[in-house]
Structure 1
Amino acid sequence: MGREPAARRRGKELEEAIYQAVWDELQEVGFTKLTMDGVAKRAGTSKPVLYRRWPGRIELLAAAAVHFMPDRESIPDTGSIRDDTVALLSLMRTRMLTLGRSPMLGLLIHVSQQPEAEESHFLEQLQRNIRNLMTNVVIARALERGEATPEQLNDRLQMLPIDLARSQFLLTGDLPEGAITEIVDDVFMPALAGRAGQVRDSGARPGREGK
């Protein structure tokens, strides 16, 4: 008797297999050579199945990135902006290691050479997602606790730990625990405190002049 065909994966199981296939393909062939056909073969499905849900490879890449990216529930509420930021950067490290330094650099080089390339939309999606995690989770909790004020937290300051963590990984291929601690304790928290002082001084200055 012949071997029975393997059961076709469906639903959540198939979705997980597709997303994993995307990352595996990225590791093996890189962004520029990643195709819907390659992902379908690796996931054990067909291109029509992929195209029924995603119009093209960039949309599939974006969906896979969101799938593997930390979500609100995965960032523990530690009770402080300092420890929440450390937790977020630690999760970022795990995801960046999954993707790998070489594919990330390859994508950045490709987009820098062709700013209008479709891959630029993928980068924008990644940036929006990680920004939302910082602003809607870590910063939102800090505001609720009274650890910071909206006036204190401009866009540049909010994204400072994310930008430094990404740069560290792209330069070295890793984001060690010690580097995460330094980013938070030696750069982000002092900058946050300094900004708080600027806001206080700005608010107090008219009162002093009026005396």
Structure 2
Amino acid sequence: MERKVASRRRGEELEQAILEAAFEEFREAGWTGFTMEGVAKRAGTSKPVLYRRWPGKVQILTACIASRLPRASAAPDTGSLRGDTIALLTLAHERMRMIGQSAMLGMLAEVSSDPEAHRQLLAGLVNELTGLLTKTVYARAIARGEITGEHLTERLTRLPIDLARNEFIIFGHISREALESMVDEVVLPALRARGANV
């Protein structure tokens, strides 16, 4: 394991270096071998610096994966709920491939024996992705008059992400046809059933 030379990094620069180190530590050591000490060595910093930001490895790994998710500014405005959803899921799929099916499966398998870690990890990631959908795709659709807030239940709000994540975890890849099928055969019909004009 290569140790980075310590520097006087602060703020966002230091945080990004730590998250990169956390990702490398996880890819090499897996969940069981992942340690805050290992991350600190890779990032060229100290454990107290890590613990000031994240209380443990669940939180730092959640932040690490969240940092690889698409940003709201990256989600293209296609002019329709259908197009925006497919575009955002395409971006999400690219990020899932960066993390890798094996890494995602390994993490889920490891935390499955720790209910609290499992809850924190999934809640953190689901909240990140659902927030991204809400701030971009659904906000635009509401502004265009395709849907209203009343059409969105909690489950419907996260449905596109749930479908994409499950497809990737099972198959390791999501084809364009599969993404379109998820939206056309599941997401849009579910919204229409609640009165949405999509």
Question: Shorter-chain TM-score: which interval?
Answer: 0.7 to 0.9
**Cα 1:53/1:111, change in 2 over 3 Å:** closer
Instruction: Report the alpha carbon displacement of residue 55 of structure 1 after superposing the two structures with TM.
Output: 2.7
Q: Does the 8 Å contact 1:26/1:99 carry over to 2?
A: no
The equivalences for 1:151-170 within 5 A come to 151-170=150-169
How far apart are the structure 2 equivalents of 1:113 and 1:52? 26
How far apart are the structure 2 equivalents of 1:134 and 1:165? 13
Cα offsets for 1:165-200 (capped at 9, x unmatched): 011001011122222122122322233233327x9x
Residue in structure 2 matched with residue 127 of structure 1 by the alignment: 126
Instruction: Report the alpha carbon displacement of residue 36 of structure 1 after superposing the two structures with TM.
Output: 0.8
Following TM superposition, the consecutive aligned residue runs of length 4 or more in structure 1 with deviations greater than 3 angstroms are: none
Instruction: Report the alpha carbon displacement of residue 6 of structure 1 after superposing the two structures with TM.
Output: 5.5
Residue in structure 2 matched with residue 55 of structure 1 by the alignment: 55
Equivalenced residues, count: 193
Q: Does the 8 Å contact 1:27/1:100 carry over to 2?
A: no
TM-score for both structures, normalised by structure 1: 0.80
How far apart are the structure 2 equivalents of 1:87 and 1:9? 39
How far apart are the structure 1 equivalents of 2:115 and 2:153? 27
| Counterpart secondary structure, 1:68 | coil
TM-score for both structures, normalised by structure 2: 0.84
How far apart are the structure 1 equivalents of 2:113 and 2:56? 21
Residue in structure 2 matched with residue 82 of structure 1 by the alignment: 82
**Cα 1:97/1:112, change in 2 over 3 Å:** same
RMSD (Å), alpha carbons = 2.4
Residue in structure 1 matched with residue 191 of structure 2 by the alignment: 192
How far apart are the structure 1 equivalents of 2:6 and 2:51? 21
Instruction: Report the alpha carbon displacement of residue 125 of structure 1 after superposing the two structures with TM.
Output: 0.9
Larger Rg: 1
How far apart are the structure 2 equivalents of 1:174 and 1:9? 40
Instruction: Report the alpha carbon displacement of residue 164 of structure 1 after superposing the two structures with TM.
Output: 0.9
1:143 and 2:132 are equivalent in the alignment: no
**Cα 1:72/1:181, change in 2 over 3 Å:** same
How far apart are the structure 1 equivalents of 2:70 and 2:190? 25
Structure 1 unaligned residues grouped into runs of 5+: 200-211
